[in-house]
Structure 1
């Protein structure tokens, strides 16, 4: 491990911001960036040696590698964390537009990620079921692992207990499709009265195992499965794709369609556990086209 990688490891291990999963992803991300900088010919002697030229080189490399706007945004978030910890925040522009990075909330740059095929079959049954629950009901990873179908299934909805949810907020998600019902039956057959966490393991242990297993399988963005649910649900409620999936933005909708858009976004926000209209831009794409766009 070179000096930069060691410094970044020390910084991430000492930081307490974010959930366990967020901290682990940040650590892996920064180690990846350290390797990329080394591959680009930069040998930084310490984390505090970060300069604008390093940022510019990284962004150019990511663009030519064909990474999506969302992935580049995520990596820039890790770089900003790094810069802040070494008191070098000034080496980055305040917004990513100045680096030519597209708006992640624009209707073109926010498509859902779907984990299918070999990625999914490479996982054990319980981990595979956790991802499918995320996609079918918009669950966070922690919620899907703690999910107990015997307690949650009310017939026409799943009731997520407060202790399973972020911020301790109880919520319900409707069962509107036969595939959701079939998935719940699978969960009951596999887990019985228990959660997806196997007997003899703690939640933390199993979450860490899943984190490593999904990374090895090439699954990099677990949160993207909630995007899939949100965009599927939007089309079911409105009859048209969300802006993130190629659908029309707000200014192209009729008055009646705008009312439908508002109701759908509020419904989806509640089902995802947010209760705020603005947060739906993250999952569905912005209601408005970017300036000079569309």
Structure 2
């Protein structure tokens, strides 16, 4: 059952008017007033209310810039989910820390629950693929082969192809949507690698080695759907329009598309360990069941028949390769994917 906030909304003169009757037509000021209600009810302190108001302002700017929304009544859960995904992506590319991602999403949830009077728009950090505050994932977000195949039958052919690209090539959703699979397919045949440049965070291109037929197959299938258009975005839509449609379609079947990228990272880790050690099926911490650090290094040493120091070196090198394939320059970001 959705928990209802009983202090605040029922006391407003017209809780169904613009911004749920929070006393301002400006969404940012309305958010401040919602937090003031929580303060009056001793649910938050003055400092917390001020900080959360500032954090919510970023969400308000996002709503205006990306969706043209200036009234809280027009906010839907998919808008919060998309913003949460933006935070996850910023964390993913190192632009913000995991604590910041949690704090900004928490502020949105806090304001909206008070404004509306319930938690129907609430999106948790876990749902958004944001790891816990340590930055080390304790929840395996990879999508199983069985679930992946089921999802592909439930999605449109275009989104099914994008999901396969994310799984096989490690694309973020925006990268997959803005990519040209046909051009990448040609490059893969010529160079045994592809250049990912459209939709990357910070505009930094990266080169991904092509090492399996499944990667080629993913590009082939996507290129058929792409046709003569320059990307996987339908020719009659902008990226924003397409992404809104995608979030709705994903939401209907409970699909978390970043889970495909997690699968790529975990499979890539095992492949890099195989290349280094000649030993198959060496799993990362989150999928092996061994905690990151000493326990996992011992697991590697036992599988390979090497020393702990050698196991550490193998692990570090595999993580560096995975980080680069995901578009990062730091190995600590792999903690969110590999544990």
Which category describes the TM-score, using the shorter chain as reference length?
A: 0.5 to 0.7
Q: Give 1:237's match in structure 2, choosing from 247, 272, 290.
A: 272
Secondary structure of 1:200's counterpart equals coil
Deviation at 1:26, TM superposition (A): 6.1
**How many aligned residue pairs are there?**
226
1:257 is the counterpart of 2:311: yes
TM-score where L is the length of structure 2: 0.56
Q: How many angstroms apart in 2 are the aligned matches of 1:16 and 1:256?
A: 49
What is the correspondence of 1:1-294 to structure 2 with a 5 Å cutoff?
Answer: 3=9, 11=31, 15-16=60-61, 25=78, 27=80, 78-83=105-110, 105-106=135-136, 108-114=138-144, 115-153=147-185, 154=187, 155=189, 156-161=192-197, 163-194=198-229, 195-219=231-255, 221-239=256-274, 240-246=282-288, 248=290, 249-252=292-295, 253=297, 254-285=308-339
Higher relative contact order (CA 8 A, sep 6+): 1
Q: What's 1:92 paired with? A: none
Q: Is the partner of 1:274 in helix, strand or coil?
A: coil
Q: Distance in 1 between matches of 2:112 and 2:221?
A: 46
- Pairwise CA distance, 1:16: 2.6
Deviations 1:182-227 (A, max 9, x none): 11111222223431112222222111111111111221x2222211
Aligned-residue offset at 1:241: 0.4
- Kept in 2, the 8 Å contact 1:242–1:284? The answer is yes
C-alpha distance in 2, partners of 1:227/1:190? 24
The structure with the largest alpha-carbon Rg is 2
**1-side partners of 2:132 and 2:234: how far apart?**
42
Task: Normalising by structure 1, report the TM-score.
Answer: 0.64
CA distance in 2 between counterparts of 1:80 and 1:202 reads: 29
Q: CA deviation at 1:275?
A: 1.1
Equivalent residues of 1:110, 1:282 under 8 A apart: no
Q: Is the 8 A contact 1:104 1:110 kept in 2?
A: no
* Kept after mapping to 2: 8 A contact 1:108/1:246: no
| Contact kept? 1:26, 1:78, Cα under 8 Å | no
SS in 2 for 1:15: helix
